[in-house]
Chain A
Amino acid sequence: MKHIIVIGNGMVGYKFCEKLEAKGGLNSYNVTVFGEEARPAYDRVHLSEYFSGKSAEDLGLCNPNWYGDVGIRLKTSELVTEVDTEKKTILSHKGKQYNYDYLIMATGSIPFVPPIKGVEKKGVFVYRTIEDLDAIKDYGEKLKKGKCREAAVMGGGLLGLEAAKAVKDLGLNAHIIEFASRLMPRQLDDGASKTLQKKIESLDIGVYLDRKTEFISGEESIEGLKFQDDTALDCSMLVISAGIRPRDELARKAGVIVGDRGGIVVNDKMETSAPGVYAIGEVAIYNERIYGLVAPGYEMAEVVVNQLTGEDKRMPPEIDMSTQLKLIGTEVASFGEPFIEDEDTTPIVYENKQKGVYKRINISSDGQKLLGGILVGDSSDYSSLHQVYINGLRLPEDPETLIIGSVGGDGGVILDSVLELPDSARVCSCENVTKGRICDSLTDGSCCNLSDVVAATKATSGCGGCKPMVKDLVNETLKSMGQEVKEVVCEHFEYNRQEIYDLIKVHKIVSFEEAILRFGKGHGCEVCKPALASIFASIYNETANKQVSIQDSNDRFLANIQRNGSYSVVPRVPAGEITPDKLIEMGRIAKKYDLYTKVTGGQRIDMFGAKLEELPLIWKELIDAGFESGHAYGKALRTVKSCVGSTWCRYGMDESVSFAIELENRYKGIRSPHKIKGGVSGCIRECAEARCKDFGVIAVEGGWNLYIGGNGGANPKHAQLLAEQIDNETCIKYIDRFLMFYIQTAAPLTRTSKWLEKVEGGIDYVRQVVVENRLGIAEDLEKEMQGLINSYECEWKQAIEDPEMMKRFKHFVNSDDTDDNIVFVPMRDQKMPRPWK
């Protein structure tokens, strides 16, 4: 077998091994990897997370046993000191010599340290390896005990900003020193830099632009920086982040051709000037540039793996250098050509100083193409703009709508259909799956639905952000193939939710088993079971205690599961109104069970960190103190938010608290396709944010205005006006009808806003049904709602009164022990779950 030697076990060196293994390359090659660092490859991109709780082990790119398991010889702490490209041998610092057939140089780069007087002083660091961070941390700890806690970071680029934030998180006062006249000079223009600077300064990080450091003062250790303009900064630490230099020393010594300013020169196969020698990652200079990002490095690794396994994949001529800044506490992104300015380009700039938002896009002067851009303060449009840029999509007639939103519309880039994306569009960037691959897998017959596509392409299995787009693509493609895409609940039921609802009601089915036997197939799953549980609840108002094993896990234990498997407890506090006595009781109980408490976004109090077996004990005490379940765990009514209204407020037009309490108590316990939230505001100042709720009521001259279909969350939507100037009774009547209509007809896990979007005819149609009674079902809807309201029962009360039900709340069947895997750590006078690794 031929022998491959990889020099460098960094991110790209590792990726090469991973890809070679995945392609079956280890059947034809022996591989030996040399790494100078003491540990196997780790995630340098997320290095700063080492300061926020991640261990070196957590940052590891794979299980350390992986190399051995797949048969790769990994030699850590072993520096390669010489390469002989004629004899095809390498020599390590241990004096051992090895032969290779192919050599992969993946030696990365080192931080550039400018030749400034005093850089050798104690307290001056670079920021690249775990060891660097350890040293910074130790020194920082010492500084915190002394007088001067000032720390400077030299370099206001991507990395410098990240380092400054890290230094600040260590408890030091951070200052960024930048040579150029703006921050992130390679990615941002002046306007963007100014916006970013403001934001950074508001985080208490100093920013000094146009500063050329003359020398570093201090005896043995650094005490300050002296700049050429005669200004100075006292500081006891300096982290240098002034760029990188490729580690090409080995290649240089071996006579392999390197670039004028360093870097091993490669062609589009990643071949160097020496036969059998490849260079990849930050050490490689391709198209006369080095690429300080991992994605191009990964692509280079893939090219070499392909070359070695008999395929001829080449590096593309253009490499995308779009970047998003992470961590600093503000959003920054730049893509394509961020600041070209010539006659072929028209920049469009939007700036909102008050909000700290700066956006710029560069359009070709014919208005056809997006050439690049910058987003500071709000980068929510980054992915769609990036898709438009990278795929060269045609622009809308008014390109400015791309960043400022079209008049009256949603704004942003709107494709008429996802099928308009070119085949090469990378839809899932985690797994690198293109639109073409998704569509082909359907048209060639190898996949017939979404789950097939996910299994075949691995799309959506990374961060999951592309799920909606993949789903749309699958549906649109199937439609274009003439297949009717029926929205079925899952593989077990060939019906949509509304059909199942009707079947269960008409046939008076009372259990999941019966339903699946008669109308479905198989044994059910985590999709159809909760969907049917919700339907049973809506028809018979049975609580989650009835058919326990078809309830979603949270409903099954009547509490929200938290990060570490403990639970939260949220008693109902209708409309947010609570007496001092009840507050005291809640405080007493939280203290007794050592629970973390927080006021929620829904105007009530959440108590976190209860162990499963503690839940009934806590609830017993809460119920004794007059509380009820808040259904925070259920797809059910959550809260009806209120403002004080005319009771106290000088502008109040009506008693919003009283009405909110009435509404919350009316609909409490009612299960629905998704959670339901309400709000009641005492006047149009709208302090209860009623128009962000599924139903919102606002007091106006002459009665209440009723709005429906509002939503916060990921896709905020304002609720739409259903009826104006109505009295309390009418308002309740309409909400009854509307909610019941929604409960009967919506797809599973569809909030009212999404439902309203899909209802043909939209709000006008819903008004006809709810207000004008066009379908003649208004009375039935009211009756059904009243039935649900009349049969309300607090399910926690039910549970604690029944010893059989209580068995559910034990961690072990065969032991009274508690889960010893649950560990809490202290946080701001309270506690929290131990961080995830």
Chain B
Amino acid sequence: MQDLLNEYQTIGVDKVKVWVKAGTVDDFPTNGGACIKYKKKQIAVFNFTTMSRWYACQNLCPHKMEMVISRGMIGDKDQIPKVACPLHKKTFSLENGTNMEGEDYKLATYPVRIADGAVFVGFSE
């Protein structure tokens, strides 16, 4: 399980080696998320329409290790964009993946870039 979690490490824009095309903008629901696959990884991608921002993070909820984060509801807490896991409603910052209730769990986050109506997620390998 730990190994699975270790698969996911936050990638800053400066560390990106490949930009993987995740789909078109229309493939993703407005103000919601969907999941993409890259190699063995599952990445949740969110189209935060009202903030005009896109976010990506691991689809794996670190609480019970299930691939569900993309189905969570997004919103904000004091202006910080967040996602609530659909299983037990633990919430995570979409900006840096930290748990908003102050618990140890964390999501790895990935940069997203939009070009010509297509959505790209950045990976280091």
Q: How far is the CA of A564 from the CA of B65 in the complex (A)?
A: 9
Whether A523 contacts B50 by the Cβ 8 Å rule is yes
Check A352 for interface membership: any CB of B closer than 8 A.
no
A556 and B75 in contact (CB under 8 A), knowing A455-B102, A525-B84, A812-B36? no
How does the 8 Å CB contact mask read for B34-50 relative to A, with 1 for contact and 0 for none? Answer: 11110000100100101
Q: How far is the CA of A564 from the CA of B72 in the complex (A)?
A: 14
Q: How far is the CA of A144 from the CA of B55 in the complex (A)?
A: 55
Whether B34 contacts A565 by the Cβ 8 Å rule is no
Q: How far is the CA of A529 from the CA of B27 in the complex (A)?
A: 22
Within 8 A of A (CB), among B63-92: 64-68, 71-79, 81-82, 84, 86-87, 89, 91
Task: Please indicate the chain A residues that have their CB under 8 angstroms from the CB of B29 in the complex.
Answer: 548-549, 808
Check A552 for interface membership: any CB of B closer than 8 A.
yes
A813 and B91 in contact (CB under 8 A), knowing A548-B32, A549-B32, A819-B42? no
Q: How far is the CA of A514 from the CA of B66 in the complex (A)?
A: 34
Whether A814 contacts B102 by the Cβ 8 Å rule is no
A549 and B22 in contact (CB under 8 A), knowing A836-B64, A837-B1? no
Within 8 A of A (CB), among B1-44: 1-2, 4, 21-23, 27-32, 34-37, 42
Task: Please indicate the chain A residues that have their CB under 8 angstroms from the CB of B32 in the complex.
Answer: 548-549, 556
Whether A553 contacts B101 by the Cβ 8 Å rule is no
Q: Which residue of A lies closest to B83 (CB)?
A: A526
How does the 8 Å CB contact mask read for A537-559 relative to B, with 1 for contact and 0 for none? Answer: 00000000000111011101100
Check A815 for interface membership: any CB of B closer than 8 A.
yes
Whether A564 contacts B66 by the Cβ 8 Å rule is yes
Task: Please indicate the chain A residues that have their CB under 8 angstroms from the CB of B77 in the complex.
Answer: 491, 525
Within 8 A of B (CB), among A239-269: none
Q: Which residue of B lies closest to A804 (CB)?
A: B26
Whether A561 contacts B81 by the Cβ 8 Å rule is no
Query: What is the CB-to-nearest-CB distance from A471 to chain B, in angstroms, rounded to a whole number?
Result: 15
Q: How many residues of A contact B (CB 8 A)?
A: 43
Q: How far is the CA of A57 from the CA of B66 in the complex (A)?
A: 18
A524 and B84 in contact (CB under 8 A), knowing A454-B101, A561-B71? no
Classify chain B: how many residues form its interface, as a range: 35 or more
Task: Please indicate the chain A residues that have their CB under 8 angstroms from the CB of B84 in the complex.
Answer: 525-526
Whether A552 contacts B73 by the Cβ 8 Å rule is yes
Whether B22 contacts A561 by the Cβ 8 Å rule is no
Task: Please indicate the chain B residues that have their CB under 8 angstroms from the CB of A822 in the complex.
Answer: 67
Whether A526 contacts B42 by the Cβ 8 Å rule is no
Q: How far is the CA of A522 from the CA of B84 in the complex (A)?
A: 16
Task: Please indicate the chain A residues that have their CB under 8 angstroms from the CB of B60 in the complex.
Answer: 821
Q: Which residue of A lies closest to B86 (CB)?
A: A553
Check B114 for interface membership: any CB of A closer than 8 A.
no
Whether B102 contacts A458 by the Cβ 8 Å rule is yes
Task: Please indicate the chain A residues that have their CB under 8 angstroms from the CB of B36 in the complex.
Answer: 812-815
Query: What is the CB-to-nearest-CB distance from A252 to chain B, in angstroms, rounded to a whole number?
Result: 40
Check A63 for interface membership: any CB of B closer than 8 A.
yes
A813 and B28 in contact (CB under 8 A), knowing A461-B102, A561-B87, A565-B66? yes
Task: Please indicate the chain B residues that have their CB under 8 angstroms from the CB of A522 in the complex.
Answer: 75-76, 79
Whether B31 contacts A549 by the Cβ 8 Å rule is yes
Within 8 A of B (CB), among A44-59: 57
Of A57, A455, A523, the residue contacting B76 (CB under 8 A) is A523
Whether B73 contacts A553 by the Cβ 8 Å rule is yes
Check A801 for interface membership: any CB of B closer than 8 A.
no
Check A416 for interface membership: any CB of B closer than 8 A.
no
Task: Please indicate the chain B residues that have their CB under 8 angstroms from the CB of A458 in the complex.
Answer: 102
Q: Which residue of B lies closest to A522 (CB)?
A: B76
- Can you offer 12 A-B residue contacts whose CB atoms are under 8 A? A524-B75, A525-B82, A526-B84, A548-B32, A549-B29, A556-B71, A557-B71, A564-B66, A808-B29, A810-B34, A813-B23, A813-B34
Q: A523-B50, A553-B72 are in contact. List 16 more A-B contacts (CB 8 A).
A: A57-B1, A57-B2, A458-B102, A461-B101, A523-B51, A523-B76, A523-B81, A525-B73, A525-B76, A526-B73, A548-B29, A553-B71, A556-B32, A557-B71, A813-B27, A821-B60
